[in-house]
Amino acid sequence: MEVKIGVQHAPREIVLESGQSVEEVESIVAEALAGKTGLLSLQDEKGRKVLVPTDRLAYVEIGEPTVRKVGFGAL
């Protein structure tokens, strides 16, 4: 699943592929925003961790990645 994280005062968003379910990511984000932790911590499919301070979060978009079609074909 693809997770996009918008960070305040940053020109680009953070995009990562996560092996977690939508519900797991949503609960992690909700706990971070509720103030239980000062950081949003997510792990991607390669085992790397992304840490974002919760006071800098602009948005979190959770969804399936879009598959780009390459080549010629009927639209």
Sole residue written with tokens 């995009």: 15
**pTM across the whole model:** 0.78
pLDDT in tens, 32-60: 999 877 899 999 999 999 999 999 999 99
Spell out the alpha helix ranges (H) of the chain: 22-33
* Rounded (10°) CA dihedral 18, 24, 28, 29: 80
**18 pLDDT higher than 80:** yes
∠ CA 28-31-34 to the nearest 5 degrees?
150
